Amino acid sequence: MALFRKGHTSRSLAEYRANFNRLYLDIAWIGVLAGGAMAFVGVFISRQGASTFQVGLLSAGPAVVNLLFSIPAGRWMEGRAVERSVFLTSLANRLGYLLWALLPFLLLAQAQVWAIIVFMLLMSIPATALMIGFNTLFATAVPDEWRGHVAGIRNALFAVAYLVTSLGCGQILNVLPFPVGYQVVFGLSFLAGMFSTYNLARIKLGKKGIVVPSGARESRLRLDVLRGPFGHVLAVLFAFHLTLYLAFSVIPLYLVNVLQLTDLQISWGAALLSLAMLAGSTQLARVSRRWGHQRVTAFGGLLIACYAGLLALAQGFPLYLVANLFVGFAWGLLGGAMINYVLERAPVADRSTSLVWYNLAINAAMLLGSLGGSLAGDWLGLTTALCVFAVLRLAAAFAILKWG
């Protein structure tokens, strides 16, 4: 722990190490959850006959909930211990995956599509507070000088867990009949979410814990926080996420209906993505020290633009795999660089309020992007829409570098 600043006692160093390990286990289990339920839910509803609009609602619906509940969530967290708030909201959010697994027993195909969308809405209520609380928890549990290091390891562990899980789930879906395979995948994701929640509950921030001070007044959404450099950061990250979610609405349908990929082929692409993410994660700390979090975020955005462009050019499985190499390496960098970029630019005295603004901006981008993407997919066609989205992503990456 040589990088710690002077003033840390041996006891505090031991506490930091323990918290780092809990953060590592948390993200590993999240990688399992993401490699299962989150990687395949769009494919699942596409195979159940979902429309472009319904696929878009998977992102747009939670975005609406987050926009509506960000202020109440911030108000609810004021004066509460961050550790307990994170545990409770995580538990409430992850219980929803168990309901996903039970759906085929209860409803017909089209009803299952709408049920998944409704459950996503309900799960997004605690997820809103969880996002705000976890960012505060991470900033408190990890000293400034170690954030790049811890984020890089977390990204690497996420990538490994995602790699193994996506390959395993692909085999499960290939062997078991539809929809039983998806029920198994969603059930495993529920268990992974519970293990993640357990490790979050074990993070300790001191004898009395850390509370979100009432003086932060997230509920007021003070406009003065947006003046200066942090306002520029929010603007460019809003634009970047807008371009992300424009494409998210059409990609599952593109893979199933245009490229006509099987579940096993999609799982191989997801596995290759996670392998590239692992490679990117191993370089995060080094490139962040050399380039800074802003430039690394911009470079990741450039690679994500390449992903959309390559996917639009794909005629089948091979170029789909190449595209996943680009996006995987990009997320290996972005997964740590972007939040560190935000924390670096957020005013220290108003960090909680700044994170609420960040949450609102990202969810507004999710809402507009998801709905706009579904409309563009229907109007332009899936392939043309992806080409347009690639150009917009390139422009957003340049904006981060130029004006962020």
pLDDT of 199 over the 90 cut: yes
Half-sphere exposure of 193 (CA within 13 A, CB side): 24
pLDDT of 134 over the 70 cut: yes
The region of weakest confidence among 26-35, 211-220, 307-316, 327-336 is 211-220
Q: Is residue 218 part of a domain?
A: no
Q: What is the pLDDT of residue 5?
A: 54
Measured on CA atoms in the order 169, 170, 174, 178, is the torsion positive or negative?
A: positive
Q: Is residue 84 part of a domain?
A: yes
Q: What is the pLDDT of residue 340?
A: 85
Q: Are 145 and 340 contacting, i.e. CB atoms less than 8 angstroms apart?
A: no
pLDDT of 110 over the 80 cut: yes
- Cβ within 8 Å of residue 67, ≥6 positions away: 360, 363, 364, 367
d(CA 340, CA 345) in angstroms, rounded, equals 9
The region of weakest confidence among 66-80, 191-205, 214-228 is 214-228
Q: Per-residue confidence at 207, pLDDT binned at 50, 70, 90? A: low
* Mean pLDDT calculated for residue range 69-87: 79
pLDDT of 374 over the 90 cut: no
Q: Which amino acid is at 150?
A: V
Domain extent, residue 17, equals 11-206+223-403
Q: What is the pLDDT of residue 74?
A: 73
Q: Is residue 28 part of a domain?
A: yes
Q: What is the pLDDT of residue 195?
A: 96
Q: What is the DSSP string of 76-136?
A: HHBTSBHHHHHHHHHHHHHTHHHHHHHHHHHS-HHHHHHHHHHHHHHHHHHHHHHHHHHHH
Q: Is residue 3 part of a domain?
A: no
Number of separate domains in the chain: 1
Q: Which range in 67-81, 144-158, 258-272, 387-401 is most confidently predicted, on average pLDDT?
A: 387-401
Q: Is residue 255 part of a domain?
A: yes
Q: Is residue 2 part of a domain?
A: no
* Mean pLDDT calculated for residue range 274-292: 84
Q: What is the CATH number of the domain that holds 330?
A: 1.20.1250.20
Looking at the chain, the whole-number percentage of residues with pLDDT higher than 90 is: 29
Q: Which amino acid is at 270?
A: A
d(CA 257, CA 377) in angstroms, rounded, equals 13
Q: Which residue reads 């969308």 in tokens?
A: 117
Q: Helix (H, G, I), strand (E, B), or coil: what is residue 261?
A: coil
Q: Per-residue confidence at 363, pLDDT binned at 50, 70, 90? A: confident
Looking at the chain, the whole-number percentage of residues with pLDDT higher than 70 is: 91
As given in the structure block, the two tokens for residue 3 are: 């990088």
Among candidate residues 148, 94, 150, the one with its CA nearest the CA of residue 126: 94
pLDDT of 220 over the 60 cut: no
As given in the structure block, the two tokens for residue 98 are: 């168990």
pLDDT of 32 over the 70 cut: yes
Q: What is the pLDDT of residue 215?
A: 44
Measured on CA atoms in the order 104, 109, 111, 112, is the torsion positive or negative?
A: positive
Q: Is residue 212 part of a domain?
A: no
pLDDT of 183 over the 80 cut: yes
Q: Is residue 397 part of a domain?
A: yes
pLDDT of 131 over the 90 cut: no
What's the burial of 191, exposed, middle or buried (CB within 10 Å: 0-12/13-18/19+)? middle
